[in-house]
Amino acid sequence: MTAKPEPQDTLADADLGESHETGKQTEWRRLRNRMIAGLFVLLPIYITYAVVKWLYVILYDYAIGPIASFIREYTFKDAAIPGYIVYGVSVVLAMFVVLSILMIAGVFAKSRLLSATEWVLEKVPGVNMIYRVVSNVFEGISKSQDIKEFKRVVLIEFPHPGIRAPAFVTSECTDSNTGKTILCVYVPTTPVPTSGYMLLIPEDKVWALDWNLEETLQAVVSGGMTVPKKISWG
């Protein structure tokens, strides 16, 4: 006859099995955290590379490439000039052309020519809506550089009483009925801070937060993982 295992032996085997499973889960969790950490390391580098590459492709297609072709075809056609010299001269000339265009555009920023161009764009169905939205965004960004409140970070009760969310004060106005100051605040969302909420809140309903703009944006994008260790508001 086969002896039956003692109950304590069965329990011991079960404990060993559970301990083995727990060890596997812990190891997998450690590997997963490392992979997520690696993603957060590589993603900003890749996005930066993609943006720089996109800008370079545009610059090459519309400036560097045509200038290099012109130099090879019409300037030093029969001369044996190394390619890197032609490319270097093309880059310098392309940057000069781009800066010149920006300077000329800045001169005509408030001219009648710009007004006429905007008038034409405003009359084209479909195009007028896109142009109006894009123009308003860039106009708001350019004006915000001269407004001190744009970099002021506050806490507000949002989305429910008792829950506080960081917000940026973008402008202020006055309530014509009570004379109180009303703040226009922007509440960024995670993980894309460019999509958020614009709220009008009385000034006495917000709390000044001791975070700067960079700390707040990092906390929003990371979902709170890079939030400062200490917080103070009042």
pLDDT in tens, 92-136: 888 888 888 888 887 777 678 778 888 888 888 888 888 877 777
pLDDT at 7: 52
Going from the C-alpha of 166 to that of each of 52, 86, 185, the distances in angstroms are 31, 52, 10
- Which residue matches tokens 């996005």? 47
Angle at CA of residue 216, ends 214 and 221, nearest 5°: 95
Question: Domain boundaries in the chain?
Answer: 8-107, 112-143, 147-221
Average of per-residue pLDDT across 187-204: 85
Cα–Cα dist 184/201, whole Å = 7
Cα–Cα dist 220/216, whole Å = 6
Question: When comparing pLDDT for 13 and 231, which is higher?
Answer: 231
pLDDT at 135: 76
CB 99 within 8 A of CB 90: no
Percent of the chain with pLDDT over 70: 81
- Position 13 pLDDT exceeds 60: no
Range of lowest pLDDT (9-23, 29-43, 64-78): 9-23
Average pLDDT, the chain: 79
Containing 155, the helix (H) or strand (E) segment is strand 152-157
Residue 183, burial from CB neighbour count under 10 angstroms (0-12, 13-18, 19+): buried
pLDDT at 187: 92
Question: When comparing pLDDT for 23 and 177, which is higher?
Answer: 177
pLDDT at 147: 47
- Position 182 pLDDT exceeds 90: yes
Residue 193, burial from CB neighbour count under 10 angstroms (0-12, 13-18, 19+): middle
pLDDT at 5: 52
- Position 143 pLDDT exceeds 60: no
Peptide bond preceding 161 in cis form (omega within 30 of 0):
no
End-to-end CA distance of the chain: 79
DSSP-assigned letters across all residues of 158-200: -SSTT-EEEEEEEEEEE-TTT--EEEEEEEE-SS-TTSEEEEE
List the beta bridge partners of residue 156: 165
Q: Which of 165-174, 191-200, 222-231 has the highest mean pLDDT?
A: 165-174
- Which residue matches tokens 């860039």? 138
| Residue 209 three-state SS | strand
Cα–Cα dist 130/121, whole Å = 9
Containing 213, the helix (H) or strand (E) segment is helix 213-221
Range of lowest pLDDT (19-28, 39-48, 206-215): 19-28
- Position 30 pLDDT exceeds 50: yes
Containing 232, the helix (H) or strand (E) segment is none
Q: What is the pTM of this model?
A: 0.45
Six token digits for residue 164:
């506080």
- Position 203 pLDDT exceeds 60: yes
**Which of the following CATH numbers is that of domain 147-221: 3.40.50, 3.30.420, 1.10.8, 2.30.30?**
2.30.30
Average of per-residue pLDDT across 75-104: 80
Percent of the chain with pLDDT over 90: 15
Average of per-residue pLDDT across 42-58: 87
- Which residue matches tokens 């011991």? 12
In angstroms, how far is CA 124 from the centroid of its own chain?
Answer: 31
